[in-house]
Structure 1
Amino acid sequence: MRLQQLLVVLDPTQEAQPALNRAAWLARHSQAHLDLLLCEFTPALEGALWLDSTRLEQARSDLLTQRRAWAEQLAAPLRAEGLDVSVEVRWGKSVQQTVLDRVAERQPDLVFKASKNHGLLQRLFLSNSCWQLIRKCPVPLWLVHRAEWQGHKLAAALDPMHVADKPAALDHQLIRTGQELATSLGLEAHYLHCYAPLPRTLVFDAELIADYEGYAQRCAQQHRQAFEQLLAPYALQAHQQHLLEGFAEERIPQFVEQSGIDLLLMGAVSRSHLDRALLGNTAERILEAVHCDLLVLKPSQT
């Protein structure tokens, strides 16, 4: 995984900037360039009837000048310690579209953005930029979930049975990325897979009901074999491999909490079906539950 260009989305509504702090930490390890992006939009300055077009444009320009000065203040101490930092401030109603436009221009290796927990209603109507970027950002997206950062452990969530319609190559991409980050950043890497047999109450086949324990054991064996086969080409220790029984949106947050994971790697693919768009994919549901950073990877274009 290249770590030469890092795009950092600043939040002008917050004093603390955990996404910038996390990106700066990584840049210190990799000497990557930091591109700070601030998107500003104030409805009062968008087609206000009480201002003519010239004054409206001037008011927006003055606000962007103030925002740039603030962003430059954030960049100054990073430059003073030797990091390469640029600042871009733009007017835009859609934060996610502004980010995607900048990604298309600069082709960063990684995008950093702070995330927050949001209610179900917001998620259903895709009103939060994090949900949109998970689906549409073409480069890896690092969502900073909390300000505290220990920087000790990462975990990659894998799906060797491809029950979530993920391309098989994406699992290998996650493993390689986990190994590369572990080596370059000094993190302890773990790799996990969750599986869940059908609950007994949802089994309607009479033969399966009669031998439910056997069915559950066969299910576990299939997932174990697929998981071991996936990891076989990689030099991993036994303590790095975790096969967990249960639903991913429940077991992964539990594992993250119990194991002290700082960064969770997950794969995501773009969806076009309405039901998938409304419900979101596994990465989105887990984002609501985990209390660590989340690195979302899309299938490689190469």
Structure 2
Amino acid sequence: MSNNSFLVVIDPSRDDQPALERAAHLARCTGIPLTLFLSIFDFSYEMTAMLSQDEREAMRNGVLAQRQQWLEQLAAPLIDEGINVAIKVVWHNRPYESIIDYTLENPIDYIIKSTHAHDKVKSVIFTPTDWHLLRKAPVPVLLVKENDWPAQGNIIAAVNVAAEDEQHQELNQRIVENAVKLAKVINANVHLVNGYPGTPVNIAIELPDFDAHAYNQSIKEHHQIRIEQLAKQFEIPETQCHVKEGLAEDVIPELAAELSAELVMLGTVGRSGISAALIGNTAEHVIDSLDCDLVAFKPKDFECPLAK
């Protein structure tokens, strides 16, 4: 973590603000400033034909001023603690675009936002703001649920140790590096997890003499060696390395529940368009299966589609 700022997305639809509580905790631990960000839009103000453009703008400015005052009230207790807090309220009809635009124009370390369960059918047609951020945000995105971060808790770093390409290897390094840094700040333990595919059913059927058990064991041992090599670089004990058979979207939530993890860190490829609707990203599949927070990282060479 650097000394830039945490961008905290405020949810105007709820009284409690889990993202702000989490961000405040991190600010106390790190000294990193907070920027409280609120994107609002009311289509009725744009369609009031009886009012002139100037009158509509005055009404919008009045709403913005009210929200600015509300954020100032949220920020006041934190400022009294000595936390550096800035406020930004914008009028924008696409919240995720306003968040990303601000991130592109300002030095932001993490986007921190509260999350909730997403309707899987509706999500294919109307992409949730959370998913847009996971796919397109140029900085790590921390999605917050209503769980605690107890001392001596567990952080899970989900890695893909089977990948040979430089992009995935760099992403593995960055995920684990950030997990270790955060663990030191909040006094937590880091666990690494990697899922591996089981024996393809068609091979077992077509080749009767094929030893599926030996094949599975060989694949697991290969992943175990790789994950322990990665762990050694960061002085993570081998007992905190977990290699499990299955898809990442199944393995990660299972381990998170088993360890009562407070946070999962993983990488996302930033897939968009039709492939995103049909295939999705691991982070999107995982988030609704977790009872804890999630941080998603992009590859180093990720190009934000909204960058001008």
1:171 corresponds to 2:199: no
Structure 2 unaligned blocks of 5 or more: 303-308
Q: Using the alignment, how far apart are the partners of 1:273 and 1:73 within structure 2?
A: 39
The superposition leaves residues 176-205 of structure 1 with CA deviations (integer Å, 9 ceiling, x where unpaired) of: 1111111122111111111121353x4366
Q: Using the alignment, how far apart are the partners of 2:129 and 2:235 within structure 1?
A: 38
Q: State the shift of 1:245 in Å.
A: 2.0
Amino acid at match of 1:71: L
Q: State the shift of 1:60 in Å.
A: 1.0
Q: Using the alignment, how far apart are the partners of 1:194 and 1:24 within structure 2?
A: 33
> CA contact under 8 A between 1:261 and 1:292: conserved in structure 2?
yes
Structure 1 unaligned blocks of 5 or more: none
2:14 match: secondary structure? coil
TM-score normalised by length of structure 1: 0.92
Q: Using the alignment, how far apart are the partners of 1:272 and 1:153 within structure 2?
A: 31
The range that moved more, 119-128 or 151-160, is: 119-128
> CA contact under 8 A between 2:180 and 2:234: conserved in structure 1?
no
> CA contact under 8 A between 1:10 and 1:36: conserved in structure 2?
yes
> CA contact under 8 A between 2:270 and 2:281: conserved in structure 1?
no
| Alpha-carbon spacing, 1:254–1:285, altered in 2? closer, same or farther (3 Å) | same
1:123-202 equivalences under 5 Å are 123-146=123-146, 148-150=148-150, 152-162=153-163, 167-200=168-201, 202=202
| Alpha-carbon spacing, 1:272–1:114, altered in 2? closer, same or farther (3 Å) | closer
| Alpha-carbon spacing, 1:209–1:138, altered in 2? closer, same or farther (3 Å) | farther
1:48 match: secondary structure? coil
| Alpha-carbon spacing, 1:208–1:247, altered in 2? closer, same or farther (3 Å) | farther
Q: Using the alignment, how far apart are the partners of 1:11 and 1:214 within structure 2?
A: 52
Q: Using the alignment, how far apart are the partners of 1:147 and 1:44 within structure 2?
A: 36
| Alpha-carbon spacing, 1:209–1:9, altered in 2? closer, same or farther (3 Å) | farther
Q: Using the alignment, how far apart are the partners of 1:199 and 1:244 within structure 2?
A: 16
- Alignment partner, residue 60 of structure 1: 60
The range that moved more, 271-280 or 62-71, is: 271-280
| Alpha-carbon spacing, 1:187–1:232, altered in 2? closer, same or farther (3 Å) | closer
The superposition leaves residues 264-289 of structure 1 with CA deviations (integer Å, 9 ceiling, x where unpaired) of: 00011222562244321111100121
Amino acid at match of 1:296: A
Q: State the shift of 1:216 in Å.
A: 1.8
Amino acid at match of 1:253: P
- Alignment partner, residue 7 of structure 2: 7
> CA contact under 8 A between 2:143 and 2:293: conserved in structure 1?
yes
Tell me how large the CA RMSD over aligned residues is.
2.2
TM-score normalised by length of structure 2: 0.91
Amino acid at match of 2:179: G
- Alignment partner, residue 213 of structure 2: 213
1:289 match: secondary structure? coil
> CA contact under 8 A between 1:125 and 1:278: conserved in structure 2?
no
The superposition leaves residues 212-264 of structure 1 with CA deviations (integer Å, 9 ceiling, x where unpaired) of: 22222222222223223333323121222111222221221111112110010
- Alignment partner, residue 99 of structure 1: 99
The range that moved more, 133-142 or 190-199, is: 190-199
- Alignment partner, residue 249 of structure 1: 249
**Count of residue pairs brought into register by the alignment:** 301
Q: State the shift of 1:74 in Å.
A: 0.1
Amino acid at match of 2:158: A
The superposition leaves residues 135-169 of structure 1 with CA deviations (integer Å, 9 ceiling, x where unpaired) of: 11111111102254435221100111129996211
Amino acid at match of 1:12: P
Residue identity (%): 32
Amino acid at match of 1:184: V
1:31 corresponds to 2:31: yes
| Alpha-carbon spacing, 1:271–1:127, altered in 2? closer, same or farther (3 Å) | closer
Q: State the shift of 1:34 in Å.
A: 0.6
Q: Using the alignment, how far apart are the partners of 1:233 and 1:74 within structure 2?
A: 41
> CA contact under 8 A between 1:166 and 1:268: conserved in structure 2?
no
Amino acid at match of 2:71: A
> CA contact under 8 A between 1:3 and 1:110: conserved in structure 2?
no
Q: State the shift of 1:123 in Å.
A: 2.2
The range that moved more, 222-231 or 104-113, is: 222-231
Q: Using the alignment, how far apart are the partners of 2:260 and 2:167 within structure 1?
A: 27
- Alignment partner, residue 280 of structure 2: 280
- Alignment partner, residue 296 of structure 2: 296
| Alpha-carbon spacing, 1:285–1:57, altered in 2? closer, same or farther (3 Å) | same
Q: Using the alignment, how far apart are the partners of 1:238 and 1:27 within structure 2?
A: 31
